[in-house]
């Protein structure tokens, strides 16, 4: 483990660095924990005190920028991040499960908790959270925007707030189409499908297609798959009770564990990390 004793900033593990990549430390008591074979490209990670970033073995980042002021951010084993850009503030918590393929942006504030089991994102999603929770299962998101808050309070004439922040839940096997918006308080039921351009403001039940603004159910008792394969036919007919089994049997195993990474010399990486700790700013 490398440590800047004066500021108590630490780095555990040696990533694979690309060209001019660097970790920038700001503030004290920050920790960066990197598993084996973590690849970081155009990084800029500032932590601003009492923060932690954990990237488990095999994580692959690309156009990074994390800010993480007084927050905890963790990406699980073999996550592929690509565009990255996370800012997480004020005691918030972001934890994404292994083998997720993500591009995107995240922004968390005021002790928000955003977690996902496994994400498969084809375009950049935007997740904005303030307080409360956004909980995602093993699901596929296109370029969606998820809010658990309106950010600004609305008062009735008696002075009561009428638009409190409310948790969002996206259950397993959900497919969220492009250019969609998921608003505060919504639960998307297991296996539901959200049509292009939908704005969801109320719960959507499992195994249906919902579309429009506001999103309404347009078809029921459906399942979806990443690709069309002839042998999927053997799983039919399905019932509502065993529809979730379809996903267990047919989900493509997005597995990035065998990704080949061109190593940079470890001495160079170690030197750069020492340098970043030494250069820790206020
Ligand atoms: C949601 C979707 C998958 C449904 O496809 P489908 O089962 O073939 O649905 P249909 O075209 O038969 O439409 C069923 C009804 O829903 C309506 N509808 C479908 N998609 C809609 C949408 N995005 N917004 C509003 N209404 C929609 C149709 O007008 C139709 O209404 P009607 O019965 O009153 O005529 C598809 O319409 C869609 O939005 N696909 C885009 C998904 C996406 O973003 N993919 C990117 C890759 S991740």
Centre of ligand 1 from the C-alpha of residue 209, in Å: 8
Centre of ligand 1 from the C-alpha of residue 131, in Å: 33
Centre of ligand 1 from the C-alpha of residue 210, in Å: 8
Q: Are residues 183 and 85 in the same domain?
A: no
Centre of ligand 1 from the C-alpha of residue 207, in Å: 15
Q: Are residues 64 and 193 in the same domain?
A: no
Q: Whose CA is nearest to atom 20 of ligand 1?
A: 195
Q: Does 5 map to a domain?
A: yes
Q: Are residues 78 and 129 in the same domain?
A: no
Q: Does 261 map to a domain?
A: no
Q: Does 207 map to a domain?
A: yes
Q: Are residues 116 and 68 in the same domain?
A: no
Measured CA to CA, the distance from residue 148 to residue 133 in angstroms comes to 7
**242: domain CATH number?**
2.160.10.10
Q: Are residues 64 and 149 in the same domain?
A: no
Centre of ligand 1 from the C-alpha of residue 198, in Å: 10
Grade residue 252 by pLDDT with cuts at 50, 70 and 90: low
Pocket test for ligand 1, best of 143, 176, 196 (most atoms within 8 A of CB): 196
Residue 91 phi, psi dihedral angles, 5° rounding: 75, 20
Q: Are residues 97 and 224 in the same domain?
A: no
Give the pLDDT confidence score for residue 96 in this predicted structure: 95
Q: Whose CA is nearest to atom 4 of ligand 1?
A: 195
Angle at 176 between CA 171 and CA 179, to 5 degrees: 145
Domain boundary pick from 70, 104, 138: 104
Q: Which residue has the higher pLDDT, 16 or 188?
A: 188
Q: Are residues 117 and 244 in the same domain?
A: yes
Q: Pick the closest to residue 166 from 119, 214, 203 (CA basis).
A: 203
Q: Whose CA is nearest to atom 33 of ligand 1?
A: 218
Give the pLDDT confidence score for residue 196 in this predicted structure: 98
For the segment 108-137, the average pLDDT, to the nearest whole number, is 93
Looking from the CA of residue 210, the nearest atom of ligand 1 is 1
Give the pLDDT confidence score for residue 20 in this predicted structure: 65
Q: Whose CA is nearest to atom 14 of ligand 1?
A: 218
Q: Are residues 88 and 126 in the same domain?
A: no
Domain boundary pick from 64, 84, 104: 104
Q: Are residues 130 and 12 in the same domain?
A: no
Q: Does 268 map to a domain?
A: no
Q: Are residues 100 and 116 in the same domain?
A: no
Q: Does 30 map to a domain?
A: yes
For the segment 221-248, the average pLDDT, to the nearest whole number, is 91
Grade residue 262 by pLDDT with cuts at 50, 70 and 90: low
pLDDT in tens, 128-181: 999 999 999 999 999 999 999 999 999 999 999 999 999 999 999 999 999 999
pLDDT in tens, 32-73: 999 988 888 888 888 889 999 999 998 998 888 989 999 999
Domain boundary pick from 56, 78, 104: 104
Q: Does 37 map to a domain?
A: yes
Q: Are residues 172 and 99 in the same domain?
A: no
Centre of ligand 1 from the C-alpha of residue 211, in Å: 6
**0.85 exceeded by the pTM?**
yes
DSSP letter for each residue of 56-111: -TT-EE-S--B--BT-EEEE-TT-EEET--EEEBTT-EEEE-TT-B---EEEEETT
Q: Does 80 map to a domain?
A: yes
Residue 184 phi, psi dihedral angles, 5° rounding: -55, 140
For the segment 262-279, the average pLDDT, to the nearest whole number, is 77
Which domain range does residue 153 map to? Answer: 112-250
Residue 133 phi, psi dihedral angles, 5° rounding: -130, 150
Q: Whose CA is nearest to atom 31 of ligand 1?
A: 218
* Residue 60 near residue 43 (C-beta atoms within 8 A): no
Residues with CB under 6 A from ligand 1: 122, 142, 177-178, 193, 195-198, 209, 211-212, 218-219
Centre of ligand 1 from the C-alpha of residue 164, in Å: 31
Q: Does 36 map to a domain?
A: yes
Give the pLDDT confidence score for residue 91 in this predicted structure: 93
Q: How many domains does the chain have?
A: 2
Measured CA to CA, the distance from residue 147 to residue 144 in angstroms comes to 10
Q: Are residues 49 and 125 in the same domain?
A: no
Tell me: pLDDT of 17 over 90: no
Looking from the CA of residue 193, the nearest atom of ligand 1 is 1
Distance of CA 120 to the CA centre of its chain: 10
């Amino acid at each position: 483990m490398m440590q800047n004793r004066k500021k108590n900033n630490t780095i555990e593990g040696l990533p694979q660095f690309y060209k001019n990549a660097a970790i920038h430390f700001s503030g004290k008591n920050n920790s960066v924990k990197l598993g084996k074979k973590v690849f970081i490209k155009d990084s800029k990670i500032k932590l601003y005190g009492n923060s932690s970033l954990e990237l488990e073995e095999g994580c692959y980042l690309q156009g990074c920028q994390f800010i993480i002021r007084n927050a905890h951010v963790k990406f699980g084993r073999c996550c592929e991040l690509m565009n990255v850009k996370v800012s997480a503030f004020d005691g918030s918590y972001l934890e994404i499960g292994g083998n997720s393929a993500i591009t995107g942006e995240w922004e968390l504030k005021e002790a928000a908790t955003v977690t996902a089991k496994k994400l498969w994102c084809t375009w950049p999603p935007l997740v904005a959270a303030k307080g409360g929770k956004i909980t995602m299962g093993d699901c596929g998101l296109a370029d969606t925007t998820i809010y658990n808050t309106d950010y600004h309070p609305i008062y009735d004439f008696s002075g009561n707030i009428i638009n409190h922040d409310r948790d969002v839940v996206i259950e397993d096997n959900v497919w969220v189409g492009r250019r969609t918006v998921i608003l505060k308080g919504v639960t998307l039921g297991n296996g539901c499908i959200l049509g292009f351009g939908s704005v969801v403001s109320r719960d959507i039940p499992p195994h249906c297609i919902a579309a429009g603004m506001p999103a309404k159910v347009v078809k029921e008792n459906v399942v979806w798959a990443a690709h069309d394969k002839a042998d999927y036919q053997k799983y039919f007919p399905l019932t509502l009770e065993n529809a979730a089994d379809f996903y267990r049997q047919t989900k493509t195993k997005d597995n990035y564990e065998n990704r080949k990474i061109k190593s940079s010399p470890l001495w160079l990486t170690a030197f750069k990390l020492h340098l970043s700790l030494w250069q820790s700013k206020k």
